């Protein structure tokens, strides 16, 4: 397995509402590398900065200081268009709430990142989307409206959607936080499977010690710092 560094953080800081009386520093000098093939849990108490860190990693937000490299490419100085393109090509994101589009069917939700990026998907991409739906056990529901699915099914669609662009980096913020224990276990197994099959560096925020224990690497945060 390649051990290429997919994501590197150097001295990353985040301050919300800087230069105001409400200024709040949430991340302090974070140094971190994630490598291809790694499956990592990110844990820590509520408010310790996990989601803030994930949003920075996913290029959904910008750091106040420091540098963030995706596959060796520095991102801090990029404009929005370039950041969006980088995100579209290299990163998959799964949220606690799936954010599917209820009015669209399951297949179109999976294809959404490609449609936004390039318009109509090509044949190979379409086949991969079908493959992913089969892998998450939803092949039969491809044409079903997304709003007519259970919570666990919707989260499976969200995972397929996050993988459709074959990301080098997969980020998931409490993807099982909303699911019952058995469904959470099944969804987590999908992350393990895709991590193995695609070699994408995978980082999962979870409050569940049983799930984090299944990851070969665990990163713990406390008060905006990585403590182990």
Ligand X SMILES: Nc1ncnc2c1ncn2[C@@H]1O[C@H](COP(=O)(O)OP(=O)(O)OP(=O)(O)O)[C@@H](O)[C@H]1O
- Site track 103-142 with ligand X (rule: CB under 6 A), x = hit: ----------------------------------------
Stretch that binds ligand X, among 48-56, 112-120, 129-137, 147-155 (CB under 6 A): 48-56
How many amino acids of this chain bind ligand X (CB under 6 A)? 11
Closest to Mg ion by CB, 24 vs 116, is 24
| DSSP single-letter state for residue 157 | H
On whether the CB atoms of residues 26 and 221 are closer than 8 A, the answer is no
Stretch that binds ligand X, among 31-39, 47-55, 105-113, 136-144 (CB under 6 A): 47-55
Q: Which of 6, 37, 48, 226 binds ligand X (CB under 6 A)?
A: 48
Closest to ligand X by CB, 45 vs 102, is 45
Q: Return the structure tokens found at 144.
A: 């079903």
Q: What is the spatial distance between Cα 63 and Cα 10, in angstroms, rounded to a whole number?
A: 11
- Other Cβ atoms less than 10 A from the Cβ of 23: the count is 11
40 binds, among ligand X, Mg ion, none (CB under 5 to 8 A by kind): none
What is the number of the residue whose Cβ is closest to Mg ion?
Answer: 51
Helix axes 151-163, 181-198, angle to 10 degrees: 10
Q: What is the spatial distance between Cα 175 and Cα 55, in angstroms, rounded to a whole number?
A: 14
């Amino acid at each position: 397995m390649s051990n290429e560094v997919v994501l590197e953080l150097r001295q990353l800081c985040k301050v919300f509402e800087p230069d105001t009386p409400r200024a709040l520093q949430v991340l302090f000098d974070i140094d971190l590398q994630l490598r291809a093939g790694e499956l990592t849990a990110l844990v820590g108490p509520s408010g310790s900065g996990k989601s803030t860190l994930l949003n920075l990693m996913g290029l959904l937000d910008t750091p106040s200081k420091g540098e963030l490299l995706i596959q060796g490419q520095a991102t801090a100085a990029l404009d929005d268009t370039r950041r969006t393109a980088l995100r579209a090509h290299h990163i998959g994101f799964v949220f606690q709430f799936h954010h599917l589009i209820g009015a669209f069917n399951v297949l179109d939700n999976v294809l959404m990142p490609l449609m936004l990026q390039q318009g109509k998907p090509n044949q190979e991409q379409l086949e991969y989307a079908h493959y992913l739906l089969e892998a998450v056990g939803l092949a039969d529901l491809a044409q079903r409206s997304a709003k007519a699915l259970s919570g666990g099914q919707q989260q499976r669609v969200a995972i397929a959607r996050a993988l459709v662009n074959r990301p080098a980096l997969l980020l998931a913020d409490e993807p099982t936080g909303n699911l019952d224990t058995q469904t959470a276990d099944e969804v987590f197994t999908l992350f393990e499977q895709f991590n193995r099959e695609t070699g994408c560096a995978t980082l999962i925020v979870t409050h569940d010690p049983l799930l984090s224990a299944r990851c070969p690497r665990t990163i713990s945060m406390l008060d905006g710092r990585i403590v182990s």
